[in-house]
Chains A and B, each alone.
Chain A
Amino acid sequence: MDFNPCMKHKVVRQAVRDFAETEIAPVVYDLDREARFPWDIIEKMRPLNFFGLQVPKAYGGAEVDGISYAITIEELSRVSAAIGLCISVHNSVGAYPISAFGTAAQREKFLPALGRGERIGAFCLTEANAGSDAGGVETQAVREEDGFIINGTKIFVTNGGVCGLSLVFAVTPQEQGARGGSVFMVEKETPGFSVGEIEDLCGMRANPVSSLFFENCRVPLENLLGRVGDGMKIGLAALDTGRIGIAAQALGIAQGAFDASVKYAKERHQFKKPIAAFQTIQNYLADMATEIDAGRLLLYRACAFKDEGRPFGTEAAKAKLFCSRLASRVTNLAVQIHGGYGYSKEYDVERYFRDAKVTEIYEGTSEVQRVVIARGVLSQPR
């Protein structure tokens, strides 16, 4: 067992950190305040393969290993969680399902543009009456002779406002054996597809999370991913990968808040000494460092399982549960260490604090992660 990062992972971390600190950090405050999606930064990210992390090389992607993927999302999120989110969702639940479940023709048609970032991907599951309970999905795809007609409304779609391709989870009522729902690839030019208002959210404000409307959206047969009824299987597989991304994102937020706290604790003087000299602050920092380390080990283990081709769903759920909760705790302490300044938008920790919370909610709530983990634990032979 080797706990040292290999040379490649060190260099990947350094490269992404350099990009994030140089290109994103100077504007991250404005992006959050203005709830603005940074197309200019996206333009710079395209040739660097951020959009092709999980796209096979054969389709022009970078096809990076699982740990490099986690490090990339972590380092982006350490500076901007909203951009880390865009890349994570695009890769894990936008592009990955097509790589894993698409036919050769579907991969050929969709993956190159996704890999180049010309189309940003989104995955649409959540509805007004369906979230953790995917069985409550009401969006319908009705079979016609040469395709399907989709009707329904999806809400809280990450990347919704900018997506060029959405993977839509829908039920197909008249089909045999369709209990699991089905996934359809809908291009933004499809008549009947439209984007709702951008949500006014607590955090992740630079990501245009929105509703998506499908009104008599006609898609050809070849836009069905997998077979009719494969929806749940595809969704669960995508979410396993997605959870690695969100765990990495939560970890990056925590790391950013931690780094800011260490810096501040050394600079800020009270009672004629830096507050880092006080044991209370030291205790906070020690707890934060320990939790971040523990989360990172859980996360990289899940990635290593994935790279080895082993089942990693339970490991990903543990990493996602632990990292998202530690992100909330660490960012909370970061605000505490910063005192009144930490509650001001002038300091980054205020944004980290707001960004962290949703990692406990999306890509499966903490409660759902426990269901997944318990299922894994209870199914083990004893």
Chain B
Amino acid sequence: MRYHFVVCMKQVPMVSELPWDSRSGRLRRDLADGMMNPACKHALEAAIQLKDRHGARITVLTMGPVMAEEILREALAMGADSGILLTDPKMAGADTMVTSFTLARAITRECPDFDLVLCGCHTSDSETAQVGPQLAEELNVAGVAYVEKLDLQHHTVRLEREADDFLETIEMDLPGVVTIATQRYTPRYASLGGLQEAFDRDSITVIDAQGLGLTPEQIGRNASPTRILDVYSPAAQKENIVMRGSAKKVVEDLLDQFGDQIAAAIGKDLKPNG
């Protein structure tokens, strides 16, 4: 069989700290260039590796402003087959619940034959980690979050993930949703030839709210129950920590203890052994 994977992705600001609009409580995303959310890139890499092994069609899906097409093109260059851009001013301001609802609607309508939906485990700009699990609910299929390794066997997928210091191995029937952790699937670089072709190809479908059969009341800020009451910068807490031992050990300890925080601060995942 030839699988159909849908990889959901988000364009996030390239810098780790952005000013926000104090009145609306929203980040001023317009002030920075966008990039593919690092964890989404890992999810795409996982999908491409599965495609290489088992044969598959990969559709990448994003909701965002018109410029979010950039990350879909990049995904095509990496190995995706087609892209769907959900863009409509009325979709703006969606919270995670409405985002999941809208993505699920697009998947149901445009990719009804999907076998597996892959998402990044979280985004670097809001870090909620909610959209993947919510998407499983909306699609009414099984879902597993923070997957570190996966492989397919006919109509099931075998997953490994670390939870509370245990290594879990889970088998899940397809179709399903997984969110991919950022440990194992180090994303490949898009080739320069691939990028040129990705922009020459006619493989992106642009859909607005009407195209999804959704009314303004069902989407965007209007439909989002989440209210942001306040946004503030956590007070910086400085602490001197002295790490001892050989240079090699100190660096390893540093990465062990603070690798995730460093990765979050620089907006880039640190490669294992990198």
Q: Chain A residues near B191 (CB, 8 Å)?
A: 47-49, 62
Contact A57 B193 (CB under 8 A): yes
Q: Chain B residues near A57 (CB, 8 Å)?
A: 193
Contact B196 A15 (CB under 8 A): no
Partner of B189, one of A10, A48, A52: A48
Contact B189 A18 (CB under 8 A): yes
Q: Chain B residues near A62 (CB, 8 Å)?
A: 191-193, 196
B69 interface hit (Cβ, 8 Å): yes
Q: Chain B residues near A12 (CB, 8 Å)?
A: 192, 195
Contact B70 A7 (CB under 8 A): yes
Contact B193 A61 (CB under 8 A): yes
B115 interface hit (Cβ, 8 Å): no
Per the bound structure, the CA–CA distance linking A47 and B190 in Å amounts to: 10
The chain A residues found within 8 Å of chain B, CB to CB, are 7-8, 10-12, 14-16, 18-19, 22, 47-50, 52-53, 57, 61-65, 68, 72
**Count of chain B residues near A, Cβ 8 A:** 20
Per the bound structure, the CA–CA distance linking A19 and B189 in Å amounts to: 7
14 further A-B contacts with Cβ under 8 Å, apart from A10-B33, A68-B192, are A7-B69, A7-B70, A7-B73, A8-B199, A11-B70, A11-B73, A12-B192, A15-B192, A22-B268, A22-B274, A53-B192, A62-B196, A64-B192, A72-B192
- A7 and chain B: residue at smallest CB distance: B70
Q: Chain A residues near B35 (CB, 8 Å)?
A: 14
B67 interface hit (Cβ, 8 Å): yes
Per the bound structure, the CA–CA distance linking A109 and B67 in Å amounts to: 42
Q: Chain B residues near A68 (CB, 8 Å)?
A: 192, 195-196
Contact A14 B33 (CB under 8 A): yes
Q: Chain A residues near B268 (CB, 8 Å)?
A: 22
- A72 and chain B: residue at smallest CB distance: B192
B74 interface hit (Cβ, 8 Å): yes
- B14 and chain A: residue at smallest CB distance: A14
Per the bound structure, the CA–CA distance linking A53 and B102 in Å amounts to: 40
Contact A11 B74 (CB under 8 A): yes
Partner of B192, one of A7, A18, A22, A49: A49
- B187 and chain A: residue at smallest CB distance: A18
- A18 and chain B: residue at smallest CB distance: B189
Contact A64 B196 (CB under 8 A): yes
Q: Chain B residues near A50 (CB, 8 Å)?
A: 192
Q: Tell which of B73, B77, B195 has the most Cβ of chain A within 10 Å.
A: B195
